Amino acid sequence: MIKAQNVYKSFNGGRIKVLNGVSLEIARGDFAVILGASGSGKSTLMSVLSGLERADSGTVCFDGMEISGFNDKQLTEFRRKYTGFIFQQYYLLSHLSVENNVRLGADLAGNKDFREIIKAVGLEEKCKRKPSELSGGEQQRVCIARALAKKPQALFLDEPTGALDEQTGRDVLDYIVKLKREQGFTMIMVTHNENIAQMADTVIRINSGRIEEVIKNTSPKTAYEIGW
């Protein structure tokens, strides 16, 4: 599904080297966690794998397409068709209602059933509210609905529970994994939380822009079984 080979990425004209020859492979339908400390390059790796950014060198392939060679227009088209995002900071459109935030994703996929998704995340009664009128957990559920409404083949999550309390964080993770099982999309999550990594099928440990190890987890835990 996703294959990266010898990927390099740096910033500030090459002065800050973030990714130093990353190679990895993520299978279709996999739940992969990219685990690393702050500054290890995990978020940059996610950006490169998801087509938010281009690598300086190396190749990134998604379903056989070499997205690392795509221009801006092609990357836009790629993200439009294949990816969904959930961020730690939510990035909801503050002046739009829950419903219209979800439509941001739904309209791209021509998905007319977006109200079903709002219902599925338990926000049917709050679909006319603005994000500022929701709790952190509810806002993150809007993000989930927004991402899933575009029916992505790969869902990228950047510390999705970083701003949530334990109970809400567990509920959100449990909910995302449940949806993944139902819909079969590939999930790539970036986190520094070792406990969350226990839920994944594959754990990719990154340090100083290099892959340290890739662990296949034969018995992933549920969100309520892991420590916090």
Partner 1 sequence: MVVSIKDSVKLAGISVICFCAVFVCTFFINYCVDAAAVADSVTQEMSALYQGQLATAKFSCALSGGCLSLIAFVMLVFYIKLYIDGHGRQLGILKAMGYKNGEIALKFWVFGFGVLIGSALGCGAGYAAMPMIYSQMTVEGLTIPVKFHFWLPIAMIALPTLVFSALSCGYARFALGRDVGSMLKGEIKKSKALSDKKLSEQNKASKTEKPRAFLLDMGIKTLSSKKMLVFFIAFASFCFSAMVQMGGSMYDLNAAAMGPIILAIGLVLAVTVMMIAMTAVFNSNTKNLAIMKAFGYSARECAVTIFTGYIPFAFIGFGVGTAYQYAILRVMIDLFFKEYSLIFDFDVAIFFITLAAFTVFYAAVMLFYFLKIKQISIKAVMAEN
Binding site for partner 1 (CB under 8 A): 43-44, 47, 52-53, 72-73, 76-81, 83-85, 87, 89, 91, 93-96, 99-100, 103-108, 115, 124-130, 132-133, 146, 150, 158
DSSP labels, 75-98: HHHHHHHHEEEEETT----TTS-H
Cα separation, 20 vs 132, in Å, equals 40
CB of 35 to partner 1, least distance (A): 19
CB of 148 to partner 1, least distance (A): 12
Closer by beta carbon to partner 1, 126 or else 180 = 126
Closer by beta carbon to partner 1, 107 or else 201 = 107
Burial of 16 (0-12, 13-18, 19+ CB in 10 A): exposed
Cα separation, 110 vs 116, in Å, equals 14
CB of 190 to partner 1, least distance (A): 11
Closer by beta carbon to partner 1, 114 or else 175 = 114
At residue 64's C-alpha, the angle toward residues 67 and 56, to 5°, is: 30
Cα separation, 30 vs 27, in Å, equals 5
Closer by beta carbon to partner 1, 31 or else 156 = 156
CB of 216 to partner 1, least distance (A): 30
